[in-house]
Every structure is written in C-alpha cells, then in structure tokens.
Structure 1
Amino acid sequence: MFTKKSFEVFEVAGLTPRMAAIRSIIQPDFAQLGNKLLTELSVNFPTENFYLHIAKHLRRTTNPPENTWCALSTKPRGYKMEAHFQLGIWQDYVFLYLSIIDQPKNQQRYAERLADPSLRDIVPKDFVLSKDHTKAEFFPLTDWSAAVERLGKVKKAEFELGRVWPAERFEDQSSEVIFSEMMATLNQLMPIYQQLMEV
C-alpha cells in the first residue's frame, strides 16, 4: 500500500530519477492493488476479461510525470478507447475513478447514459468528479450535470468519477482500512460502469 515515500516520489527532480522512483516505489503497489481490483471485477463481470495496464510514461522526454496510475479495462492493448477504472496517485492524494478520457468512440453515448438522473442518484455523496486527467483538481458532485453536458458536446471533454484519499490518510491509517474503502468504491462504481458498457 502507498506510504509517505510514495508521495515523496513527486519531489524527485528530473525525468530519469523520478521514473526510477516510480518504478521502484509506486508500481509494485499498482501491481498488487491492481490485481486485487482486477479479481473483484472478474467476479462481478464473469463474461468479461479484464486487463491491468500500468502507465509507463514512454512518450515523456523532458518533464517528469506529476502523477502516475494504473488502469483496468477489457482491452488487452490499451484502456483509453473505452470507459475504464483508474487507480492513481498525485503528490497530494490517491484516487480511484471510473474514467472517460481521450475521446473514446462512445463518448457521446456515455454522456447520454450519464444524463439519466437514476444514475446520479446512486452515487455516494463523498464521490468527486475530475474533468481533466492531466490536472490535480477535482470537483463536487454538484458539477455533475454541467460535466456530463460538456462530455456530450465537447470532443476533448473528460469525465472521471470516484473517491480520493488525501496523502495524510496513508500516514495514520492502516492499509486494510484504506483498501476496504477502495474495494467499496469499486463496487459502488460498478452499476454505473455496467450501464456504460451497454451503450
């Protein structure tokens, strides 16, 4: 599970040193946690095959990554082409999101499905929204309607939904407590994921 050292990785200067720290400190947690989440998805969607993708940041040549993540999807060669799950870490928090990013082919149909009030009604009140996976900011659920409308109208719009855990939680709370919250989050996102997979 993530520790104080995980968040300190983003203080490491330079692309090569930071990537080395990400690989040695963070990615082993992605492998462990990601595979547990993968198992849970497979149990709940027995007719689907799920794959774990750990971000490698291969396209970066100068600037070190400000965050990193792993993704779970039904596509063996990638994840951005469909709604998927992401477990990731910024310098200040960890997140677990149901993610629609980088213009998947069903983006407009996803927006139409997310506009259904019955979906919004089942979302836990402590969930948050992210509208851009490249920025370390998230928004309250009161932004739901505007974010969904933008997803349907703006090609580069993004929509991520889930829960965040502040960095300080990982200093004073047991891994078991936080992991149980992650599993609960995944299960709370599944009904919405199911709806998106049917579009």
Structure 2
Amino acid sequence: MGITAFTGQDFDVFRIEGLDQRMEQLKSTVRPKLEVLGEYFSPVLSVLTGEEIFYHVAKHARRTVNPPKDTWVAFSPGKRGYKMLPHFQIGLWEDRLFIVTAVMNECPQKASIGKKLEKKIDPILENIPGHYIWSDDHTKPGGIRTDRMNPHTLNTFFRRMQVVKKAEMLCGLEIPREEAAGMSPDELAKTIEDVFVHVLPIYKMA
C-alpha cells in the first residue's frame, strides 16, 4: 500500500470538540495514514539502524475526558512498546507535522543517554541541520532550533536529561500544516526519510 499525503482535514481533526467525536474522526481519517507510514518506514528504519524496528500507532486508550491534542506513529526495537526506549516518531499537531527521534521520561537509561550525548556536543551541532528543533517536553509543540543553540545551551539541555525527572529529548523537523498538506506522497516519504537519516546518529548514540 502506498503512502497517502496529509490534508488540511487531517489537521482539522484537532479542532473537533469532545473526546468521542475527535477520536472517531482520528480513527477514520488520520490513523489509517499513520498505519501505512508505520508499515512503510519500519523496514526502512530496520535497515538504517541495523536492528528490527516495530511501529506503534498511538491509541490514546487511557483518555477519559480530554481529547488528544496530537497523534503519532512511533518506531522502536521494542515489540510491545516504545516509551522505555529511544525511538522515532511521525505525528501531527493541529498546526504542524513533526518527524523526530525521542527519549521519553519513561526511559530508564535517560540519564546515561544524556551523559553520552553531553560528550558529543560538537559533532551534534555540526551535523544536525540548523532548522531542526530540540524539545525537552513531548506534550508541547515547538522547541529551540539547532542554529540558536551553542555548546553551552546544548550542554544544559543534556544535563537536564540527567537530573530532571520529567525532562525529555526530542530532535527533528517540524513542518507547518500548510506546507505539509501541500506535499505529494513522494515528497512526504522523501522528507521523512531525510529527517530519519539526519537524526540517526543521535538515535545511535542513545
């Protein structure tokens, strides 16, 4: 099955009021596209990482009141889940598409990963594109661009991973909804693969 491009309607799902109504629309419009991306990119990432990669589409199953503000498909070597491991994500907020590698606060090795990354600041700043975003909280869109980072600010970022329980690490590209909705399936696939290749060294360090 080929990749289907995202449309404005996919992003508009997050404007629907009410948990049940939003979930119903998510399941019918966005989730099938994330499933296809999962099937398409898990073998690609398996080749890139050298390990078997499984995909996990967000189910939002624990929600009882608040409708989800974003949704995603995650890729990790864990067959049962991804939050405990460094992983990759493709997902949507109402106003943007995101493609990232991530280490969540549930990851038991988060502090030691932060320590490893702290020792690789110079190559990271040299190799991660300037317009890529760094964030320490997956529950909020946005973050700090690489070209606004210096060795000191990135060092502080990695130190927070080691000492702040809730601090996380996400690095990758955010694309405004208008631009993302204008992409053809081929453009979308190429963009996602380019991001995965660029953030792969961070994933491997982690």
TM-score when scaled to structure 2? 0.89
Match 1:81 to one of 77, 84, 90: 84
Distance of 2:55 and 2:76 partners within structure 1: 7
**1:19 has 2:23 as partner:** yes
* Partner of residue 29, structure 1: 33
* Partner of residue 55, structure 1: 58
* Partner of residue 5, structure 1: 9
Distance of 1:91 and 1:36 partners within structure 2: 24
Match 1:136 to one of 137, 141, 146: 141
Does the 8 Å CA contact 2:96/2:180 hold for their aligned counterparts? no
Does the 8 Å CA contact 2:49/2:200 hold for their aligned counterparts? no
Does the 8 Å CA contact 2:6/2:181 hold for their aligned counterparts? no
Does the 8 Å CA contact 1:129/1:144 hold for their aligned counterparts? no
* Partner of residue 43, structure 1: 47
Does the 8 Å CA contact 2:101/2:172 hold for their aligned counterparts? yes
* Cα deviation 1:140-199 (Å, max 9, x = unaligned): 221533221211111111110000111010343323223211110011111221121xxx
Distance of 2:183 and 2:130 partners within structure 1: 22
Distance of 2:80 and 2:71 partners within structure 1: 18
**Equivalent position amino acid for 2:128 in 1:** V
Structure-2 change in CA distance of 1:61 and 1:138 (3 Å): same
Structure-2 change in CA distance of 1:103 and 1:171 (3 Å): closer
Query: What does 1:90-101 align with in structure 2 at a 5 Å threshold?
Result: 90-101=93-104
Classify the secondary structure of the residue corresponding to 1:168: helix
RMSD: 1.4
**Equivalent position amino acid for 1:68 in 2:** T
Distance of 2:85 and 2:134 partners within structure 1: 18
The structural deviation recorded for 1:45 is 3.2
Unaligned runs of 5+ in 1: none
* Partner of residue 178, structure 1: 188
Structure-2 change in CA distance of 1:64 and 1:189 (3 Å): same
* Cα deviation 1:77-132 (Å, max 9, x = unaligned): 11011110011100000101110112311111110121112233211112111211
Match 2:125 to one of 120, 128, 147: 120
Unaligned runs of 5+ in 2: none
Distance of 1:87 and 1:71 partners within structure 2: 7
The percent identity for this pair of structures is 32
Q: Which moved more, 1:12-21 or 1:30-39?
A: 30-39
Does the 8 Å CA contact 1:71/1:87 hold for their aligned counterparts? yes
Distance of 1:185 and 1:107 partners within structure 2: 22
Count, aligned residues? 195
Does the 8 Å CA contact 2:137/2:168 hold for their aligned counterparts? yes
The structural deviation recorded for 1:76 is 0.9
TM-score when scaled to structure 1? 0.92
Distance of 2:85 and 2:180 partners within structure 1: 31
